[in-house]
């Protein structure tokens, strides 16, 4: 699975949640085609979400939620909790971008789970806002866990340091990135922005021995560079590198399929 934040436009022609039509964005379509060639299908939100009143604008002020998955391993489980965590996806009083739940089941039926894709408020002064967002996400999980027990909160949480992580983590949850490994590509000012939060008392599928790994994107992309200019990772160019790749390193965790579904 690949969980993605900051997709700013849709990859195909379809309809928003309210039934109005939208058309594909060529760059998004190319990205999804590239993932398809690697064997991925996807679960996509029915619209975008953002801080302002104006969504459906195909710009960087709003985001779509997408999770790519391998259809020879997983299928979408629409009988489990899924969709946006709030009805109003614009100018929400708690969420700058309303989180989206994506639910899956293994083809053999021995495991199902819900991934909640998040992109929390950024900035050093927003720690209380991030705490409120995570608390509301935990409340939503509590309201839906009679149907499913295995929830993973995944994504860019913009957490600044270990003290904040301890302060904002909802009761009953832990982060796989409890060591606060730095996850954004800024060499001199990297932060532990990205996390995977889960309730250890509710599941045994997460591979705690594998833990949480950060893939150094600057190192990984060096050999692929074909531009006439110097590779923007040597030295790191904080303006150019994210334009070609990303301003976050990919992070990796692993789930183990149990002998039977425990919920």
The full set of domain ranges for the chain reads 1-88, 120-254
Q: How far apart are CA 83 and CA 129, in angstroms?
A: 22
Q: Looking at residue 144, what is its pLDDT?
A: 96
The whole-number pLDDT of residue 262 equals 66
Most distant CA atoms of the chain, gap in Å = 56
122-140: average pLDDT: 97
Q: Please provide the distance, in angstroms rounded to a whole number, between the alpha carbons at the two ends of the chain.
A: 21
- The 3-state DSSP composition of the chain as helix, strand, coil percent (nearest 5) reads 20, 25, 55
% of residues, the chain, pLDDT over 70:
99
From the CB of residue 214, how many other CB atoms can be counted at a distance below 10 Å?
Answer: 17
CA angle 149, 168, 87 (to 5 degrees): 60
SS3 state of residue 30:
helix
Residue 89 in tokens? 């996806």
Residue 235 clears pLDDT 80, i.e. is over it: yes
State the average pLDDT for the chain.
95
Architecture of domain 120-254: 4-Layer Sandwich (3.60)
Q: Assess whether pLDDT exceeds 90 at residue 203.
A: no
pLDDT at 207 over 70: yes
Residue 257: pLDDT band (50, 70, 90) is: confident
User: What is the DSSP pairing of strand 62-69 with strand 41-44?
Assistant: antiparallel
Check residue 258 and give its pLDDT. Answer: 81
pTM: 0.96
**Interacting residues of 26 by C-beta distance below 8 A, sequence separation 6+:** none
What are the structure tokens assigned to 133, written together?
Answer: 């967002």
Q: Are 31 and 61 in contact (CB under 8 A)?
A: no
Instruction: Name the band, by pLDDT with cuts 50, 70 and 90, for residue 204.
Output: confident
Range 13-24 average pLDDT = 96
């Amino acid at each position: 699975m690949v969980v993605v934040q900051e997709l700013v436009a849709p990859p195909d022609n379809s309809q928003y949640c309210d039934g109005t039509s939208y058309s594909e964005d060529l760059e998004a379509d190319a990205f999804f085609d590239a993932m398809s060639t690697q064997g991925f299908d996807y679960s996509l939100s029915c619209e975008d979400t953002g801080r302002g009143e104006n969504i459906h604008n195909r710009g960087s002020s709003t985001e779509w939620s997408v999770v790519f998955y391998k259809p020879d391993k997983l299928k979408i489980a629409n009988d489990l909790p899924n969709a946006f965590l709030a009805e109003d996806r614009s100018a929400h009083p708690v969420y700058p971008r309303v989180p989206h739940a994506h639910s899956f089941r293994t083809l053999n039926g021995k495991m199902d789970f819900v991934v909640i894709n998040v992109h929390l408020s950024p900035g050093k002064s927003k720690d209380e806002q991030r705490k409120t967002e995570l608390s509301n996400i935990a409340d939503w999980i509590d309201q839906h866990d009679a149907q499913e027990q295995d929830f993973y909160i995944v994504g860019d949480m913009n957490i600044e340091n270990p003290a904040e992580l301890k302060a904002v983590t909802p009761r009953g949850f832990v982060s796989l990135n409890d060591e606060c490994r730095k996850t954004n590509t800024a060499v001199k000012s990297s932060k532990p922005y990205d996390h995977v939060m889960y309730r250890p008392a509710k599941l045994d599928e997460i591979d705690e021995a594998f833990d949480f790994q950060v893939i150094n994107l600057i190192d990984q992309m060096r050999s692929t560079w074909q531009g006439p200019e110097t590779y923007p990772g040597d030295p790191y160019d904080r303006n150019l590198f994210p334009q070609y790749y990303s301003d976050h390193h990919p992070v990796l965790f692993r789930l183990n399929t149990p002998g039977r579904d425990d919920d």
